[in-house]
């Protein structure tokens, strides 16, 4: 059962109000990756989890303030955008389901993945540093 | 960063590695840690050599990709535990 939309709306907005593209369906994810297949792209698997609020979302936004970053950033929401989430997860089948998490793509191919445990107990600054290190792969 | 459940221990809500005095190692989301042991949700267990992998190799894979939650809930008594660490603190080789 999805979370009430009015509950997750502010959590979505924290990213989408800052330039992250919302991808609510599998088709939207496919189109996003197709549109950016010649560039680098990142998809944030957002969630209601406390570590998403305290570490992942603010850390992701902080990481995007740097020069080296993905050319395009999209987001899907665990528990609500069910098909979109399933499609994103299918692109990296060796990764167990994990949210929040971050998927990075270069020329349409997955090149990096950041699972939930990296965000747990973290601070925005430490998350941003971890992500910036991953951006070097893009 | 703390949680709202200060009575459950500092690792509450975090994914931890529990090394034991035997062959097994566990990964799971820590619910509660007490002097009596640790309670994990959504856990996995690996034994040295299982599936042709050492515990160290299993943990390296989990550090990179996460772990499969094959066990819904498990309690591990303190007498069987040799070390508890956050999975995030495991360095990837």
Give yes or no for residue B93 having a pLDDT over 60: no
Chain B residue with CA closest to A124: the answer is B1
> How far is B38 from chain A, CA to nearest CA, in Å?
18
In a domain, B21, yes or no: yes
> How far is A122 from chain B, CA to nearest CA, in Å?
6
The residue range of the domain holding B66 is 6-87
On chain A, the residues whose CB falls within 8 A of the CB of B67 are 96
**Distance of alpha carbon B58 from alpha carbon B6, whole angstroms:** 31
| CATH architecture, domain A5-135 | 3-Layer(aba) Sandwich (3.40)
Query: In angstroms, what CA-CA distances link A104 with A12, A64, A97, A100, B26?
Result: 19, 13, 16, 14, 28
Query: Would you state the pLDDT for residue B1?
Result: 46
What's the CA angle centered on A117, arms A113 and A120, to 5 degrees? 125
Q: A28-77, pLDDT tens digit by residue? A: 999 999 999 999 999 999 999 888 999 999 999 999 998 999 999 999 99
Give yes or no for residue B3 having a pLDDT over 70: no
The CATH number for B27's domain is: 2.30.30.100
State mean pLDDT over A1-15: 94
On chain A, the residues whose CB falls within 8 A of the CB of B68 are 96
Average pLDDT, chain A: 95
Query: Would you state the pLDDT for residue B2?
Result: 47
Q: B55-68, pLDDT tens digit by residue? A: 999 999 999 999 99
Chain A residue with CA closest to B92: the answer is A118
Task: Indicate whether this complex's ipTM tops 0.95.
Answer: no
**Which residues of A are known catalytic residues?**
49, 51
Query: Would you state the pLDDT for residue B8?
Result: 75
Query: Would you state the pLDDT for residue B15?
Result: 96
Query: Would you state the pLDDT for residue B73?
Result: 96
Give yes or no for residue B77 having a pLDDT over 90: yes
Nearest in space to B72 (alpha carbons), one of B36, B21, B31? B31
| DSSP strand pairing (A109-114 vs A101-106) | antiparallel
Q: Is A91 exposed, middle or buried (0-12, 13-18, 19+ CB in 10 A)?
A: middle
Give chain B's domain count: 1
In a domain, B93, yes or no: no
Chain A residues within 8 angstroms (CB to CB) of chain B: 50-51, 54-55, 94-96, 98, 101, 113, 115-118, 120-123
In a domain, B31, yes or no: yes
Q: A76-124, pLDDT tens digit by residue? A: 999 999 999 999 999 999 999 999 999 999 999 999 999 999 999 999 9
Chain A residue with CA closest to B87: the answer is A117
Q: Where are the domains of chain A?
A: 5-135
**Distance of alpha carbon B29 from alpha carbon B13, whole angstroms:** 6
């Amino acid at each position: 059962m999805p979370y009430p939309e009015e509950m997750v709306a502010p959590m979505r907005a924290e990213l989408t109000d800052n330039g992250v593209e919302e991808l609510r369906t599998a088709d939207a994810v496919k189109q996003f990756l197709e549109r950016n297949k010649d560039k680098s792209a990142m998809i944030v698997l957002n969630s209601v989890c406390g570590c998403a609020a305290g570490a992942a979302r603010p850390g992701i936004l902080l990481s995007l303030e740097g020069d080296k970053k993905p050319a395009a950033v999209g987001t899907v929401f665990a528990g609500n955008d069910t098909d979109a989430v399933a499609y994103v997860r299918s692109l990296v089948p060796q990764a167990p389901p994990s949210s929040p998490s971050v998927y990075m793509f270069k020329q349409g191919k997955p090149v990096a993945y950041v699972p939930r445990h990296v965000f747990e107990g973290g601070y925005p600054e430490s998350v941003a540093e971890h992500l910036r290190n991953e951006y070097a792969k893009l | 960063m703390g949680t709202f459940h200060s009575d459950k221990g500092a690792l509450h809500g975090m994914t931890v590695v529990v090394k034991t005095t035997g062959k097994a190692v566990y990964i799971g989301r820590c619910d509660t840690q007490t002097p009596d042991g640790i309670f994990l949700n959504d856990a996995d267990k690996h034994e040295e050599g299982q599936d042709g992998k050492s515990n160290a190799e299993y943990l390296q894979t989990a550090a990179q990709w996460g772990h499969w939650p094959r066990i819904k809930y498990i309690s591990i008594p303190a007498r069987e535990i040799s070390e508890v660490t956050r999975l995030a603190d495991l360095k990837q080789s």
